[in-house]
Amino acid sequence: MNIKNIIHMNELNLYHKTVLIRVDFNVTIQDGKILSDKRIQASIPTIQMALKQNAKIIIMSHLGRPTEGKFEEKFSLLPIVKYLKKIFKNHKVFLSKELKKIKLYPKEICILENVRFNYGEKENNDELSKKYASLCDIFIMDAFGSAHRKEASTFGVGFFSKIACAGPLLINELNILKKHLHHPQRPMTAIIGGAKISTKFKLLKKISSIADHVIVGGGIANTFLAIDYNIGKSLHEPKFIQLAKKIRETRNNILVPIDSRVGKNFSKSEKSVMKTPDKIFSNEEIMDIGDKSIKNIKKIIQKSKTIIWNGPLGVFEFPNFCIGTKELAYSIAKSNAFSIAGGGETLSVIEILNIKKEISYISTGGGAFLQFIENENLPIIDMLKKVKNKLYKDDLK
């Protein structure tokens, strides 16, 4: 992937231009309060860059999973607008619920209501894409967290805009991931947790060819354990056992738990019992890694120079089954390695444990983070390349 073949925001003159910036403000909001502002804060430098050039600014984002075409107050961006008013208190900041030409003066900021309220957003509808494009002189794609989605506000709008470019947050994410995938300091360790190996099968194949160690947890680890053991009613994917076996036979760097914390009921109040995989009963399920596994992981983390982390190692929400993930997180925080963390659940763990400052780089993306590691390309990058090529050809005419 060559990001030199796309237009960068800092290459353009934005003076008095109307810019439409696609950001990722998909944050958790409870009772009108933003619980984590990391994604909003990550976009502030891009907005400030546009303000410095006296641009007229329109911002759009999705939030949650509302019913398309239907306004739902709990998914409104109004709490984010209120948050931004405090940050940009010297500028006019307002919310627009309509997709029509907006009267803006330089250095004013308009936030469009949740794009997922609009019919055709997810299916990348051309008519909706054209509406977005008609609002601006320049479209700036800066939502790395949505860079794997071909939707009207991320993908289609670029093809119908006069100029489409990449924002600094998107460029920075791509540069950091590319650097540490291509030229990592070694040993390199990857931690891949989560419920389903099916959703991360390609990722495991790719990362195991790059990393020196791949630590697996959750349902993914259980599927590997099911190759050799009867793991009771533990979450795993029987259809993927043979594929897991094939990966294990091809690579000898995948580490599965040697002991686990198990319980009989999937409940917050369930007590944990430590067991090796050959001792698990049919009415028990694995919900966390055990102490011996934790000890082994800590040794690997301490020696690592590069760490990529995606997903918890157990049922982190349950007090008796969060120990493995906690110990892993604290080990990464204490290590001298360059650590990259990505994915919604991973970010929640980091927030809860208050170790943000100890992680070298926290990606704003989940699906995009994983897809980029898998194949080092994203639909949005392809779109931006095609748009630049079209502009170049038009200039030659």
Alpha helices in the chain (DSSP H): 38-52, 78-87, 126-134, 157-160, 168-182, 201-210, 218-225, 241-250, 291-303, 323-334, 344-353, 367-375, 379-396
**Maximum Cα–Cα distance for the chain, whole Å?**
73
CA 356, chain centre distance (Å): 15
| Active-site position among 196, 205, 275, 305 | 196
Which phi and psi angles does 196 have, rounded to 5°? -120, 125
CA distance 374 to 370: 6
Q: Is-contact 181 370, C-beta < 8 A? A: no
Q: Is-contact 164 387, C-beta < 8 A? A: yes
Residues 6 or more apart whose Cβ sits within 8 Å of residue 328: 191, 215, 217, 294, 297, 301, 309, 313
Q: Could you confirm whether 263 is annotated as catalytic?
A: no
| Active-site position among 17, 22, 39, 326 | 39
| Active-site position among 64, 120, 232, 344 | 344
Q: Is-contact 313 194, C-beta < 8 A? A: no
CA 314, chain centre distance (Å): 19
DSSP tag of 11: G
At 274 the three-state DSSP class reads: strand
Residues 6 or more apart whose Cβ sits within 8 Å of residue 105: 56, 92
Please count the residues of the chain: 397
Q: Could you confirm whether 367 is annotated as catalytic?
A: yes
Q: Could you confirm whether 218 is annotated as catalytic?
A: no
Alpha helices in 211-279 (DSSP H): 218-225, 241-250
CA distance 231 to 217: 14
The amino acid at residue 157 is: V
Please classify residue 200 by burial: count the beta carbons closer than 10 Å to its beta carbon, then call 0-12 exposed, 13-18 middle and 19+ buried.
buried
**Strand 254-255 relative to strand 138-141, pairing:** unpaired
Contacts of 262-267 with CB under 8 Å at 24 or more apart are 262/232, 262/234, 262/286, 262/287, 263/287, 263/320, 263/321, 266/315, 267/318
Q: Could you confirm whether 344 is annotated as catalytic?
A: yes
Return the active site residues. Answer: 39, 196, 344, 367
